[in-house]
Homo-oligomer: A and B are copies of this chain.
Amino acid sequence: MSDDVIESKAFLQLAESELKVDQIEKDVEEYRLSKMKPLYVERDLIIEKIPDFWKIVLSQHSDFANYLRASDFTYVDCIEDVKVNWETVDKFSITIKFSGIEGDFEAQTVTKHFSRQRVIDDGNTGRKGNEEEEEEEEGELLSSEVVDIKWPNKYDKINPDKIEDKKSNEGKKNYRTGMKSLFAWFRWTGLKPGKEFPHGDSFVTLFVEDLYPYCVKYYTEAQRDLEDENDDTGSEGHSSEGELELENDDEPPAKKTKI
């Protein structure tokens, strides 16, 4: 065989090997889930006994606040419980339990369902493939069903269901503001990009891959931060042992986080 033929064959084999890698990743995720699910059930029951657990976790997480409007935090403080339930790796639901606020917001427990599907991107992303090699890319689409939630009365002005006039500038503005609130995320489907709660899919991922699995870590961090505030008598101890000290004044390379 010529070098060119050997190389083309190698690329083909490499593509096949990558498909096998994807399959193994899925398989590993299923394995992890089968091990974790009973433990999560156990953990949820323990967490219920700890007052303000979720309130503390949600206020500790540095990213969570970026997804919401400032006024949403009145209602984030009403979140008493968060649960994720996986049917399979790609089919799961998030259940959020809210306490109520007299005269403004009704106590309620809402479950939102999600599913992840492999899709083939047909190139509708601004990039144009030429005839010979069609730039079809495989990806995953996260989608969800609309679920009813009772909005706070204080949000009447921006509640999309209560805005009658969506044509005027004022009406449009209120609609858009409402669609950025936490409550609009419950009607997020993932199928109308640009027209729904912004970054709805990353918000789901935040719950499912970070907040829920690592909630105890965030809770513990929050407690430690509190202790540190009360105790700032730290002293730095250095050891020196004969060898030349190196000047590590370079910018440390970006840390990889392993999830």
Residues of A within 8 A of B (CB): 6-7, 9-11, 13-14, 17-18, 20-21, 24, 27-28, 31-32, 35-36, 39, 42-43, 46-47, 49-51, 63, 66-67, 124, 126-128, 130, 166, 172, 175-176, 179-180, 192, 194-196, 198-199, 202, 205-206, 209-210, 216, 231, 233-237, 241, 243-248, 250-259
Contact = CB atoms under 8 A, between A and B. Distances in A.
A130 B105 CA distance: 44
Nearest to A124: B237
B245 A51 contact: no
B256 A130 contact: no
A178 to B, nearest CB: 10
A14 B216 contact: yes
A183 to B, nearest CB: 15
Contact of A176 (B32, B199, B202, B246): B246
Given A128-B235, A195-B241, 20 more contacts: A6-B49, A10-B50, A14-B46, A14-B50, A17-B216, A21-B36, A24-B36, A63-B253, A66-B253, A127-B234, A128-B234, A176-B244, A176-B246, A176-B247, A192-B243, A198-B250, A199-B253, A206-B256, A209-B256, A259-B259
A246 B24 contact: no
Contacts of A254: 63, 66
Contacts of A241: 192, 195
Nearest to A247: B176
